Structure 1
Amino acid sequence: MSILQYADKTPDQLHDQRLSMLIDIAKELEDEVIFPTCFDASVQISTVMKSKTASLQRIAHEIQKDPLITAKLLQLANSVAYKRAGNNVADLDSALMRVGMETARATALACALQQLVRSRELTQFEGIANKLWIHSLKTSMIARVIAQRLTRVNPELAMLAGLVHDLGAFYMLDRAAHYPELVERPTTVEFLVAQWHESVGVILLDSLSMPEEIIDAVREVDQPRPFIENPRNLSDVVYLANLFAGGFAEMQRLDIPELAEPKELSYAKYTDLRAEMDQACQEMISLF
């Protein structure tokens, strides 16, 4: 079918197409969630980490099955953000000890998201997918900085939560690629993603055995909140990180009445960390 034929669709027909996709996604999520194949390694690593008896060696063995994840973890362990006393590590066990389990899981998921963004299926949504990808990387590192500098929240948990806070958006893009009428209307898809990705994401995170604390933290992260003078928990950290990674633009797509720019974006406590945030973001982006 040609683009001209898609242009002949009536508003009601387009509405039905959008509704059809949402219904199909809802049915998929009612059963066992099927992730794109690039998530296989991440799902398996998450399954092993869920086990209370899993040893460091068993986790390392599972990670070593994927050379890309192994390489990224070693690079991250030797990055400025993690390297201590100038000593490099050359083995996976040492890298895991240095970065922690949550960062290892975040790295595995980051590799999966990177492969998804570059997949043939998302070629039609390349612009949207790349923006989401960069935004997710930035949110993860800004969350780490805020947690480390201003709270008692575990920085590695904050990093993982920041990375996956828009997981539902990637999943929806992957599914939208199967609807030709929507492929021809990326603006419509972007609107659907903005409206529904949080609900979808919560179900996906549960399927990946993410800690309940993370699932709670990413709920309604794109909804404006009362001014946060002192971040106290993981939810506050992810909300702030999302803002400083460009999340206000996401809020503006939600048709929120009388939406004003959040005061946090000009609050000295946070803006004083800008340079550190930017450095951490650039380092993570260069890693991928």
Structure 2
Amino acid sequence: MNKLEAFGYIAAQAARGEISFPTSVNAVLRLQLALDDPDCHVDEAIRLVLSEPQLAARTVALANTAAFGQGDMQVTNVRAAVLRIGYRRLRGLVAALMVRQFGHRIADRVLRVKAGQLWTHSAEVAALAQALARHVTGTDPDTALFAGIVHEVGGFYLLSRADEFPGLLEDDTENWSMLVEDVASLEIMRKLAIPEAVAQAIGALRDGVLNPEPHTLLDTLLLANRYALVDSPLGGPGARRDDTAPGLLDAATLQILRSEAAETAQALGDAALV
């Protein structure tokens, strides 16, 4: 099967809703569903977090960042961390774990490197989106963090399928990869029950135009992609521009945002765990 046939095959599968996730992703999905249950007691939430060691470590790390910390009071256990950050922020961490699980079934070394870079990019965009939401656009910071984490989920899915089709993600002059990523992203977000407002913002990223006075979730994601230092290895929306080009943020503001975001991105986890 040549590359164009492979793209057509994957696009057709996605359009029919025939998308399968790795077992590890399905396990995290079950965790997400349990945490989304309004009747989920805090003790059950803590038990579920402790069942995933990576999630437990990241929950404590995030609770101790400047964005969520309370002075010098360091959190040293999952119970205190969950109580500090709350269920909504915990959902972002679960999403981060879920996205990274896509990389676990990639065997090809080159593709794993791409998956690592894609995660680094996603974590940075998510952290910047949260900081931008808090200080610039006025959107909900927790939603911005979540949206940033999952905004490249179509790319992760393509990487997880690329082992089956050698050469799938090489340079593609016909832009098939763009088409397939968009088709796959829509269906994946549907299967992952991504909230409609988040899915719409992600879907509009590729052709999105920044508002003169940025105030929407889409504006937040566009700016986060623009100012992210690590680009997606698959190309994608909001390609980074030179920081000296005309734009909304001055150098001093951008430095403050990046400093805050760096701590959050580190709490989300490095690419070595992809």
TM-score range, shorter chain: 0.7 to 0.9
Q: Say if 1:102 and 1:160, in contact at 8 Å, map to a contact too.
A: no
Q: Are residues 208 and 251 of structure 1, via their aligned partners in 2, closer, same or farther at CA, if it must alter by over 3 Å?
A: closer
Q: Which amino acid aligns with 2:4?
A: H
Q: How does 1:208-287 map to 2 (within 5 A)?
A: 208-225=192-209, 227-245=210-228, 266-269=246-249, 271-287=251-267
Q: Say if 1:41 and 1:66, in contact at 8 Å, map to a contact too.
A: no
Q: 1:26 aligns with which of 15, 21, 34?
A: 15
CA RMSD in angstroms, aligned pairs only: 3.3
Distance 1:127 1:190 in 2: 24
Q: How does 1:34-45 map to 2 (within 5 A)?
A: 34-45=20-31
Using the TM superposition, name which of 277-286 and 234-243 deviates more.
277-286
Q: Is 1:68–2:54 an aligned residue pair?
A: yes
Q: Say if 1:243 and 1:265, in contact at 8 Å, map to a contact too.
A: no
> Cα distance, 1:122 vs. partner?
4.9
Distance 1:260 1:242 in 2: 6
Distance 1:175 1:249 in 2: 17
Q: How many residues align?
A: 267
Q: Say if 1:125 and 1:186, in contact at 8 Å, map to a contact too.
A: no
Q: 1:207 aligns with which of 191, 201, 207?
A: 191
> Cα distance, 1:261 vs. partner?
6.0
Q: How does 1:99-138 map to 2 (within 5 A)?
A: 99-117=85-103, 119-138=105-124
Q: How does 1:65-104 map to 2 (within 5 A)?
A: 65-104=51-90
> Cα distance, 1:248 vs. partner?
8.5
> Cα distance, 1:161 vs. partner?
0.6
* Uncovered stretches (5+) of structure 2, i.e. residues with no partner: 270-274
Distance 1:265 1:163 in 2: 26
Q: Say if 1:41 and 1:108, in contact at 8 Å, map to a contact too.
A: no
Q: Which secondary structure does the structure 2 equivalent of 1:204 belong to?
A: helix
Q: Are residues 66 and 161 of structure 1, via their aligned partners in 2, closer, same or farther at CA, if it must alter by over 3 Å?
A: same
Structure with the bigger RCO (C-alpha within 8 Å, sep 6+) is: 2
Distance 2:242 2:266 in 1: 29
When Rg is computed on C-alpha atoms for both structures, the one with the higher figure is: 1
Q: Which amino acid aligns with 2:207?
A: Q
More helix as a share of residues:
1
Distance 1:67 1:189 in 2: 42
Q: Which amino acid aligns with 1:176?
A: A
Q: Is 1:194–2:178 an aligned residue pair?
A: yes
Distance 2:132 2:193 in 1: 25
Counterpart for residue 3 of structure 1:
none
Using the TM superposition, name which of 198-207 and 65-74 deviates more.
198-207
> Cα distance, 1:123 vs. partner?
2.7
Q: Say if 1:173 and 1:189, in contact at 8 Å, map to a contact too.
A: no
Q: Say if 2:226 and 2:240, in contact at 8 Å, map to a contact too.
A: no
Q: Say if 1:145 and 1:155, in contact at 8 Å, map to a contact too.
A: yes
Using the TM superposition, name which of 106-115 and 170-179 deviates more.
106-115
Distance 1:192 1:87 in 2: 51
TM-score (norm 2): 0.81
TM-score (norm 1): 0.78
Q: Are residues 14 and 160 of structure 1, via their aligned partners in 2, closer, same or farther at CA, if it must alter by over 3 Å?
A: closer
Q: Which amino acid aligns with 2:50?
A: Q
Q: Are residues 76 and 237 of structure 1, via their aligned partners in 2, closer, same or farther at CA, if it must alter by over 3 Å?
A: same
Q: Say if 2:202 and 2:218, in contact at 8 Å, map to a contact too.
A: yes
